[in-house]
Amino acid sequence: MTANLDKIMKPKSIAVVGASTKEHTIGSDIMKRLQEYKFKGQIYPINPKGGIIEGLQAYTSVLEVPGDIDLAIIVVNAKFVLDTIDQCHQKGIKGLCIITAGFKETGAEGAAAEKALLAKVQEYGMRCVGPNCLGVVNTLPEISMDGCFAESLPERGHIGFVSQSGALGGGILNILKDLNLGFAQFISIGNQADVNAETALEYWENEPDVEQILLYMESIQNPANFRKLASRISKKKPILALKAGRSAAGASAASSHTGSLAGADKAANALLNQSGVIREYSLKNLFSTAKVFANCPIPKGDRVAIITNSGGPGIMATDAVCEYGMQIAKISDATKDKLRSFLPSAASVKNPIDMIASAPIEHYKQTLETVIADENVDMIICIYLPFLGLKDIDVAKALMEIKAKNPQKPVIGVFMTKSEFFTALSDMDVNIPFFMYAEEAAEGLHRLNQQRLWIERPEGKIPSYSVDKSKAAEIIAQSLREGREQLTTRESIDVLDAYGIRVCKSGFATTEDQAVSIADSIGYPVVMKMTSKTTSHKTDVGGVRVNIQSAEQLRSEYQDLISKLEAKGLLDGLEGVIIQEMVKGNREMVCGVATDPQYGHMMMFGLGGVFIEVMKDVTFRIAPLTDVDAKEMIKSVKAYKLLEGARGTTPAQMDQIEETILRLSQLVSDFSFITELDINPLLISEKTGEGIAVDGRIKVKMEDAKKFFECHCGEGCECGEICTCNK
């Protein structure tokens, strides 16, 4: 189906339905842009009055046009759009770009019209951009199509850009020259009734003219499909995304699912991270990074050399490089010797290489040539400050001349000079990205390195473990039969145990004597936890008693618990107590699952215990997880140093913790109706380094869970214990 986008993006003929002679109308502007940009195919103005529009014969309908039409750009009133689509179908037109607004963005009536529009598009085998969009652009010289109504003509380049906002896309087209960037193709998806960001990604995957992809998104329609496509395509070419709606207020403007706002951006961030998409948080950063990818190859490593004519900026650049986790390259002795042969004795040939303020253009050229040739260097920052009458634009030209002869390594210029310099660059064909500050350059190199690491990252596998799925199902079904969406602590731990997750040795008791008997068999010290069908947060009511050293202490704690619950009127919900082994360890982690209505299950890992809400040292990924995802989750939290064995503690069993996370991922994949799951704490044993689930909490969505367990065998029910039909 993506091949059909050729009719939209590479048309040989275009009909502008709603073309107009009236100045400053969309129908007029579209015609002018197509002609001004010198579209290589045929243009057919369509207007009920006929006549001549922009020097071309106008037709009253697409059906009157004598030749074939690949693309119809529709700008008529919304009430005429559906009839226009019918006429386009009769004419055999397969590509539509519907500029017209007045559809789902206006409310229920508009949404119904858009649904009917999409039904026609699908029935007729068409592809459609829009409605409610700015249009489409293809700057390839043999196409030269500016099919949108932005004020400025597009700048030629090799970026594919998708914008969910038409106005924003138009604004960007207007400033491309100032940004020193150009587009290969531009698609304003608008309401994305048919063509969306995923369609564009797939279309551009093997499009040689598109070397990097930029996305402005307010929503991701199909997260699973986006992940599948982006994960594959981002290995071939960089994908940069500005995902709006990060704040509660911003997200509210972009989505009506107010219940999920708090976690929606975490879910989007996890999805983009797992898909290899480089997320930017401002338009400035989006286009700064795009400028770097447009002018730099992917480096072979993360070793950075810094060339400067001033010590201070060189030191600041060094700090920035290190803060982004890259290395300051160790300049080889041979390179140092060569540098000494032409630089003054006051210069420093260590990295950062300080040529001193008197450095002439020739020193810039020779130093850059010498450093590019060093095998210990992967990337270069070249810093210029105006001294002794040295002209910035002359230095820039000299650097670009060297870069043209040595394209194999990224070079970024930092020119702390007047704004006129950057204005002058906009009229030049540059091959080096230039920035005002060293920190911007370091961030650009960081993005290049991020792409390198993603390309080198193994794909990962989603493992399948041997588990007791039927036992877990039975436990959950029993909770449903009792009308409970919240599993008790005992039930939650038993489900985790059924999925092979290491839990504390434990037993369940309903009497004081049973509790003592279980504790005697486990061995002291033990922990006693109440498990209740009505109270999920045990610590709030004193329901957790730790470090119980003897049978006598256990009896005393048990009696005190019963007394307190009775005083608070909570005794009726008490199911019993769990007696657990007392695992010794000060490192408390958390594993969990939250559910976003759009993105699905979000897996969480991080620092747990009482610190989870305060420190918020947690990370998220979208399920299902690969083994690589799980490994990255553990390494990405600050508490990872604790797991490694800080201050002489026993190193955690990383493989076992990874497996715990992956088994949880399998659990929520098998039982998709689980909405919440917490293992808090996942205690790291001081003795073995194991991650042990000390406590568990599972909640399900009742309606979905009942459908999962629905009986399908009629009156003579043979589903056994799992069935919840109660026949």
Length of the chain equals 727
- Please say if the pLDDT value at position 181 is more than 90: yes
Give percent of the chain above pLDDT 70.
Answer: 94
Judge whether 2-210 and 469-581 match in fold: no
User: Coil, helix or strand for 675?
Assistant: strand
- 254, two tokens: 């972009």
By the 10 Å C-beta count (0-12 exposed, 13-18 middle, 19+ buried), 453 is classed as exposed
Q: Over the stretch 312-341, which tens digit does the pLDDT of each residue have?
A: 999 999 999 999 999 999 999 999 999 999
Q: Which of 67-81, 116-130, 169-183, 226-240 has the lowest mean pLDDT?
A: 169-183
The domain ranges of the chain are 2-210, 297-456, 469-581, 587-708
Cβ atoms within 10 A of the Cβ of 710, count?
A: 11
At 80, give phi and psi (nearest 5°): -100, -5
* Alpha-carbon span 474 to 477, nearest angstrom: 5
Domain 587-708 has CATH 3.30.465.10: no
Q: Is the pTM of this model over 0.85?
A: yes
Overall fold of domain 2-210 = Rossmann fold (3.40.50)
Distances (CA, A) of 85 to 17, 121, 547, 571: 10, 8, 74, 68
The answer on pLDDT for 342 being more than 50 is yes
Q: Which residues, at least 6 apart from 145, have a Cβ–Cβ distance to it below 8 Å?
A: 9, 11, 14, 34, 37, 39, 40, 41, 136, 137, 138
Model confidence pLDDT, tens digit, residues 634-691: 999 999 999 998 778 899 999 999 999 999 999 999 999 999 999 989 999 998 999 9
375: CB partners within 8 A, 6+ apart: 332
Question: For residue 713, what pLDDT is reported?
Answer: 53
Q: Which CATH superfamily is domain 469-581 in?
A: ATP-grasp fold, A domain (3.30.1490.20)
Task: Give the model's confidence band at 214: pLDDT under 50 very low, under 70 low, under 90 confident, else very high.
Answer: very high
In this prediction, residue 103 carries a pLDDT of 97
pLDDT of amino acid 252: 44
Residues with Cβ within 8 Å of 289's Cβ and at least 6 positions away in sequence, in order, are 240, 278, 280, 443, 444, 447
pLDDT for 561 beyond 80 = yes
Residues in Cβ contact with 1 at an 8 Å cutoff, skipping those fewer than 6 apart: 127
Q: What is the CATH number of domain 297-456?
A: 3.40.50.261
Quote the mean pLDDT of the chain: 92
Strands (E), 290-337: 303-308, 327-328
Write out pLDDT tens, residues 101-121. Answer: 999 999 999 999 999 999 999
For 593-646, the pLDDT digits (tens) are: 988 888 999 999 999 877 777 788 999 999 999 999 999 999 999 999 999 987
Neighbours of 534 (CB within 10 A): 12
Span 362-377, pLDDT tens digits: 999 999 999 999 999 9
Q: Poorest-confidence range of 215-229, 532-546, 572-586?
A: 532-546
Supply the pLDDT for residue 720.
52
Rounded CA gap, 528 and 524, in Å?
A: 11
* Residues 713, 624: Cα–Cα separation, whole Å: 31
Alpha-carbon distance of 280 to 443, in angstroms, equals: 11
Cα-Cα end-to-end distance for the chain = 48
User: Is the pLDDT confidence value at 462 over 60?
Assistant: yes
Interatomic CA distance for residues 317 and 384, integer angstroms: 12
> Residue 256 has what pLDDT?
24
Q: What is the pLDDT of residue 154?
A: 95
pLDDT value at position 413? 98
Closest CA to 188 of 18, 30, 24: 30
- 350-364 mean pLDDT: 96
Q: What amino acid occupies position 92?
A: G
CB atoms within 10 A of CB 369: 13
**Among the ranges 304-318, 520-534, 701-715, which has the highest mean pLDDT value?**
304-318
Most confident range (mean pLDDT) of 189-203, 257-271, 596-610, 711-725 is 189-203
Can you tell me the distance from the alpha carbon of 670 to that of 678, in angstroms, rounded to the nearest whole number?
17
